[in-house]
Structure 1
Amino acid sequence: MKKIATVDAVGHVICHDITRIVKDVVKDVAFKKGHIVKEEDIPMLLSIGKEHLYVWEKTEGMLHENEAAEVLYDICKNENIKPSEVKEGKIELIADIDGLFRIDVERLDKINELDEIIIAARHTNYPVKKGEKLAGTRVIPLVVEEEKLKKAQESVGDIPLMELLPYKNMKAGIVTTGSEVYHGRIKDTFTPVVIEKLSKYNISVCKHKIVNDESNMIVDAINELRENGADLIVCTGGMSVDPDDLTPSAIRESGAKIISYGAPVLPGAMFLLGYFEDGTPIMGLPGCVMYAKATIFDLILPRVAAGVKITKKDIARMGNGGLCLSCKVCIYPNCGFGKGV
């Protein structure tokens, strides 16, 4: 690459995109990398402040910004992810399906600690829609040492940095616990909320059981749902530590291994998650899920829907970002709630 006066650039190849910005009118690439300068281009180039141009001279061991962006994209790409066109040394990664976006944060940090290289991404474990942006890659200078890109490749290894997991076509069974609902004293307003949230992730309800506050009834209902082919079991009601709230103990009696009873998330502290031996997840939902716009259920459900096995450590790490601010107008998931990990 060499620098020459614009008036002397006719016939030379521009080595980087040149952007033209007119306030409230246009912001776009006026001349793309690889454009051969013509006599009629000179007035336009001068009008956007380009008294000099950098024209391309290939140098051994150096990569142009567009070439470097391609290398960074290769580090990130995975199934269900597609690239945008290379523009001004940047490639954006686009979701090709609805799904759960996940990124290895530790390896991402290693890349971004290298000089002159960046990968900017959405938060990991973020539910996305087809066509949405996932990340962007670029280098800071117009040309960069090829050795730096090799270091980035070595720090990532053979496993892609990012993944976009499709949601499984799951069937859920719901157990509603509470004498007031069982005896018809009040209307069940909890189950419709759960069904609506499940439907966002392609989860249908195969069976719904309403039971009294009795351990044996809760256990029998859970077993019946499993026998009816439920891929996920959701229990509502009776989730506090009050002596007459028996849902947590009944879930244990049903044979599920409890991963966590309690989560560092507000709202949603009294959340329970467990798994049966065959991998079927079971959740105990606290009452806040019925009335709060966003809760622990909204953080956990996309992962479960994508078939991700959740650990005790995963739940413990949710404390960072686990406080919902209960905004008057809820904009979740486009906010900080649940974005710590």
Structure 2
Amino acid sequence: MKKVKVEDAIGMVVAHDLTKIVPGEFKGAAFKKGHIIEAKDIEELKFIGKNHIYIIEMNSEMLHEDQAALELGQAIGGANTYLKSPSEGKVNILAARDGLLKINTSLLYEINYIKDIVVSTLHNNTVVEKDTIVSATKVTPLVVEKRYINQVKDILRNVSGIIDIIPFKVQKVGIVITGTEVYEGIITDKFAPILKEKVSNYKAIVEDVIFVPDDLEKITNAIEIFKSKGCSLIISSGGMSVDADDLTPVAIEKVASEIITYGSPVIPGAMFMLAYSDDITYVGIPACGMFSKITVFDVLLPRIMAKDKISKREISELSHGGLCLKCNICHYPICPFGK
């Protein structure tokens, strides 16, 4: 720290809170630690009895925390995001649109390994609305060496930030309800209303719901009908177990060109199926999707609706955190399930 006259302190950084006392009215910081003195501050400083103050010495190789946080935010905030002005040494990054939050986590971890750098984000693959805070940046000291900020910029030299908000692209959905007992009216279907509600949250339209018996040809034909109608997501429910009458997985295998998984390490949702063919996603949902409020389908649905292709590896990684706690009051997605 260095002691200077207040008249000479313009542009310098206050080293500690400067207290103002108005008897019976106010006692608190008139100028907080880290504040950059401006010409208009001189009169107020003298009013509170400060003719000299301690400042933090800076040189051309240093940045104030506000400027450092701003440069960090500009470096990491990618497409479809915007920044708020620095406040208390922190810059918030917000979503410029509704959509699916994508974070380059490997670069995020690398950036946070640098001395004095702090970048925090929401979880990758979080559904966000426009103007949601998705990340915050700051540095730990009041002033920081520029070289640390430059290290961040160097890491990101070949990418446009580490944050993106991608839109939900699926517009038309087809639903195939399988099961002879439902088809013949022996039991009442409860799957269709649940699935309709889930996809409607992403502003998609359900083209139709087709009921079919446990017949491979009829299940396959129903899927083909939705393909011909331009549905980019086709959901088949029921018939996903290893029972002799359960033929949904076989039908999906016939129409899809790439099977990602038949089975997931997530409970509920162990018999879940995911496959692709060109621009179409095929999903097979086991019976748990009718009785459990949240399953692996809900965990993956945001990515499916955004046409963010899911790999077998990513399905496998869901095993850590893939056990639902079955809470009396469900708070999903604000819970550890699927994280």
Per the normalisation by structure 1, the TM-score is 0.88
1:172 match = 173
8 Å contact 2:177–2:237 — kept in the other structure? yes
1:202 match = 203
What does the per-residue CA deviation read over 1:154-173, in whole Å, with 9 as the maximum and x for residues that have no partner? Answer: 22333111111111152000
Mind listing any 5+ residue stretches in structure 1 that lack a counterpart?
Answer: none
Determine if the alignment matches structure 1 residue 15 to structure 2 residue 13.
yes
Distance of 2:236 and 2:27 partners within structure 1: 54
1:96 match = 96
Q: 1:29 and 1:95, CA in 2 relative to 1: closer, same or farther beyond 3 A?
A: farther
1:1-341 matches, cutoff 5 A: 2-4=1-3, 9=6, 12-13=9-10, 15=13, 33-36=36-39, 37-41=41-45, 53-54=54-55, 58-159=58-159, 160-276=161-277, 278-339=278-339
Distance of 1:170 and 1:19 partners within structure 2: 58
Distance of 2:220 and 2:27 partners within structure 1: 64
Distance of 2:29 and 2:222 partners within structure 1: 61
Per the normalisation by structure 2, the TM-score is 0.88
For residue 30 of structure 1, report the CA deviation from its aligned partner: 5.8
Distance of 1:19 and 1:267 partners within structure 2: 57
Distance of 2:204 and 2:8 partners within structure 1: 60
Distance of 1:45 and 1:223 partners within structure 2: 82
What does the per-residue CA deviation read over 1:135-188, in whole Å, with 9 as the maximum and x for residues that have no partner? Answer: 100110111111111111122333111111111152000000011210112221
Name the amino acid aligned to 1:280.
I
Distance of 1:255 and 1:288 partners within structure 2: 23
What does the per-residue CA deviation read over 1:192-227, in whole Å, with 9 as the maximum and x for residues that have no partner? Answer: 111111011121111211000111110010011101
Mind listing any 5+ residue stretches in structure 2 that lack a counterpart?
Answer: 20-25
Distance of 2:109 and 2:180 partners within structure 1: 51
Q: Percent identity?
A: 37
What does the per-residue CA deviation read over 1:87-106, in whole Å, with 9 as the maximum and x for residues that have no partner? Answer: 12211111121110011111
8 Å contact 2:170–2:307 — kept in the other structure? no
For residue 41 of structure 1, report the CA deviation from its aligned partner: 4.2
SS in 2 for 1:149: helix
8 Å contact 1:9–1:53 — kept in the other structure? no
Distance of 1:318 and 1:336 partners within structure 2: 11
RMSD: 2.6
Distance of 1:299 and 1:27 partners within structure 2: 48
For residue 255 of structure 1, report the CA deviation from its aligned partner: 3.8
The answer to which of 29-38 and 304-313 deviates more is: 29-38
Name the amino acid aligned to 1:150.
N
Q: 1:12 and 1:151, CA in 2 relative to 1: closer, same or farther beyond 3 A?
A: same
8 Å contact 2:288–2:295 — kept in the other structure? yes
The answer to which of 290-299 and 138-147 deviates more is: 290-299
